[in-house]
Amino acid sequence: MDNLKLSYATRTPAAGDRQSVLVGVVASGNLEVLFERKLAPHECVVEIATPIHGYDEVWKAVVEDFVERVSPGGLYISINDGGARPDIVALRLMQGVKTMEVNHE
């Protein structure tokens, strides 16, 4: 397994007040992403475990674009990858952050 831990300082905290959410499943070409609101409001950590070797630079590029785009401050994001393509990774990250934005009913 390749393990990668990326840390960022964000402009703003992530919207919403959900404490955690899981999107996706670990399957071939797919991944699961766990979002937990447990960091300081301007910090973000993304932890990745993937069985596909040699894609560190791609992961960094996808995650950097995501952090730049949505500023997910306060979120600890953990990924179990099943060999997902970057577009699916980006999609799951967006789906997760969107769900975290939905406030409690």
3-state SS class at 26: coil
Q: Which of 9, 20, 56, 68 binds another protein (CB under 8 A)?
A: 20
Residue 28 has, within 13 A of its CA and on its CB side, a CA count of 0
With binding defined as CB under 8 A, does residue 83 bind another protein?
Answer: yes
Strands 75-81 and 2-9: unpaired
Q: Which of 7, 19, 41, 56 binds another protein (CB under 8 A)?
A: 19
Site for another protein in 59-78 (CB under 8 A): 61-62, 78
* Between 10 and 50, CB nearer to another protein: 50
Minimal distance, residue 58 CB to another protein, in Å: 5
Written as one letter, the residue type at 26 is V
Check the CA dihedral 82-86-88-91 and report its sign.
positive
- Give the binding range for another protein (CB under 8 A) out of 5-13, 30-38, 39-47: 30-38
